[in-house]
Structure 1
């Protein structure tokens, strides 16, 4: 049986360079490859693929219908480490850590094209 290695979502963007800067400078990703309208970014064992696309005909942000979830350990420490780089984003683009009824502690960040990035940690009681 083949071994499945990882899931790397495509994140559509209107400006490849703006998104590379956002993910690398604000969220700590590294750009491993960039060419024309495509970039591969990684952070630890996860990765995303940025794809620059034309604007939508209706003017809505490209990322408006996109989101992805990053499971982490140490959610509050991660948020505290990213807070300086997130502090100057416009109101509504960052939601600080909070507990969800489905027993995840999360914080949310909206990227340059409206993609919602969830960071979450399992907070179920341990036996």
Structure 2
């Protein structure tokens, strides 16, 4: 039985990335050991961050899809505070209301919620 997943996302500077996710409403913490590793959580969603000296957003960026209860509300919350590129919400043919966010580390976040009919 699969129970949960936590994508590991490469970042150039862990401290900067943790602060960025904190501003986006996540609870953040750095790993206490020698590795430059961090954890960000919001509700039931967890992402792991790894600082990688060779990270190049043009070649090593990640993508994650986050299901949320209200994509418009999250978009409104992130507007004005999300560093990077924040796309406008739109309805998709596959039945989701979604938007995109590409952070300065090149990670594509797609966020979606079911369309109400």
Matches within 5 A, 1:7-22: 7-22=5-20
- CA distance in 2: counterparts of 1:21 and 1:9, whole angstroms: 18
Matches within 5 A, 1:73-112: 73-86=69-82, 89=83, 93-112=85-104
Say if 1:70 and 1:119, in contact at 8 Å, map to a contact too. Answer: yes
Say if 1:18 and 1:112, in contact at 8 Å, map to a contact too. Answer: no
Per-residue deviation, 1:49:
0.4
Q: Kindly indicate whether residue 41 of structure 2 is the aligned counterpart of residue 42 of structure 1.
A: yes
Unaligned runs of 5+ in 2: none
Of structures 1 and 2, the larger Rg is shown by 1
Q: Kindly indicate whether residue 27 of structure 2 is the aligned counterpart of residue 30 of structure 1.
A: yes
TM-score when normalising by structure 1: 0.79
Give the root-mean-square deviation of aligned CA atoms. Answer: 2.1
Aligned residues: 115
- CA distance in 2: counterparts of 1:76 and 1:60, whole angstroms: 28
Say if 2:29 and 2:39, in contact at 8 Å, map to a contact too. Answer: yes
Unaligned runs of 5+ in 1: none
- CA distance in 2: counterparts of 1:9 and 1:101, whole angstroms: 26
The alpha-carbon distance between structure 1 residues 16 and 33, as it changes in their structure 2 partners (threshold 3 A), is closer
